[in-house]
Amino acid sequence: MNPDPIQSAADIIAEKKNLLIFTGAGVSVESGIPPFRGAGGLWNKVNPDFFEIDHFMRHPVESWERIRSIFYDLWGKCAPNAAHLAFAELEKMGVAFSLVTQNIDNLHQAAGSKNVIEFHGTLGRLRCTRCSFAGPPTRDLLAGNPPSCPKCAALLKPDIVFFGEGIPEHAMDQSFADAESCSVCLVSGTTGEVMPACMVPHTAKRRGAIVIEVNPEESAFTGHITDIYIRGKAGEIMPRLLEEIKKRLAE
């Protein structure tokens, strides 16, 4: 194995091609979206109760004021960074067949990724808490205080997984099916501590996949299931890794 982890990761990804990408909050940090934990993390500013479904249902007006200002006004202005673009390019090249993200910010799709599984849902859709209505977060819907369903007038929620809610069935099934069938799992921007999402790379590893990790800090995966650890920011490492993969595929 090449002692340079980027070279070594590129060798493996270019040879196997059957790549599953697994991302967390860290890949959006360079787009200006803070992670949950650590310096500058959301937990230092917002009480985690805010993400409890019971709290949301009991205090919809107050919750929606925060949701609107943090998620839609602030995060809504953020654009994909070099890491999002590199992940999308890997899919376009036929190297990555699936991307499982714990993120809710829609930036993978904005970068051009198509096969995205949103494990924790998305801010890109509002869902009625009573009827079957689901639709994009238009300016008109978001203007309501709190936003209400255009069909039945009940409370709308962003279609994200709050604490106390289950993972969407399709996301759960497809993520684990992809983990079972990949040959390489590229993990980036996650502490690997959020259950059950963190079991996706564990499943890939158990089924024989090679796990490559890109993170400026070690995670719960490092030293356990990570085969190749690349220390650094996703926005800096991913374009370099992509170039190395391209070189090998052109040979």
Closest CA to 86 of 238, 231, 244, 222: 238
Q: What is the closest distance, in whole angstroms, from the C-beta atom of residue 109 to ligand NAD in the complex? A: 12
Instruction: Single out the residue of 157, 215, 225, 244 in contact with ligand NAD (rule: CB under 6 A).
Output: 215
Q: One of 55, 108, 120, 202 is an active-site residue; which one? A: 120
Q: Of 8, 103, 203, 226, which one interacts with ligand NAD (CB under 6 A)?
A: 103
Matching residue, tokens 């390019």: 89
- Mark 147-167 as b/e (b = at least 16 C-beta within 10 Å): bbbeeeeebbbbbbbbeeeeb
- CB nearer to ligand NAD: pick between 171 and 184: 171
Look up residue 1 and give its two tokens.
């194995």
- The yes or no reply on residue 29 touching ligand NAD (CB under 6 A) is yes
Q: Does 8 bind ligand NAD (CB under 6 A)?
A: no
Nearest-approach distance from CB 76 to ligand NAD, in angstroms: 12
HSE at residue 80, side-chain half, CA atoms within 13 A, is 16
> Does 105 sit near ligand NAD (CB under 6 A)?
yes
- Taking the least distance from each CB to ligand NAD, the nearer of 24 and 158 is 24
120 is catalytic: yes
Nearest position to ligand NAD, beta carbon: 26
The yes or no reply on residue 33 touching ligand NAD (CB under 6 A) is yes
Considering only residues 139 to 178 of the shown chain, the ones binding ligand NAD according to CB under 6 A are: none
Least distance (Å) between residue 141 CB and ligand NAD:
20
Q: How far is the CB of 87 from ligand NAD (least distance, A)?
A: 12
Q: What is the dihedral of CA 240, 94, 114, 234, to 10 degrees?
A: -20
Q: Is residue 113 a contact point for ligand NAD (CB under 6 A)? A: no
Look at strands 210-215 and 156-160 and give their pairing.
unpaired
Binding flags for ligand NAD, 179-208, as an x/- string (CB under 6 A): ---------xxxx--x--------------
Q: Please report, as residue ranges, which positions from 34 to 73 form the binding site for ligand NAD (by CB under 6 A).
A: 35-37, 42
Rounded distance between C-alpha atoms, residue 153 and residue 10, angstroms? 52
d(CA 69, CA 63): 10
Q: By CB under 6 A, which span of 1-9, 30-38, 59-67, 149-157 interacts with ligand NAD?
A: 30-38
For residue 214, the cross-strand partners are 188, 230
Residues that bind ligand NAD (CB under 6 A): 24-30, 33, 35-37, 42, 102-105, 120, 188-191, 194, 215-217, 219, 233-235
> What are the residue numbers of the active site?
120
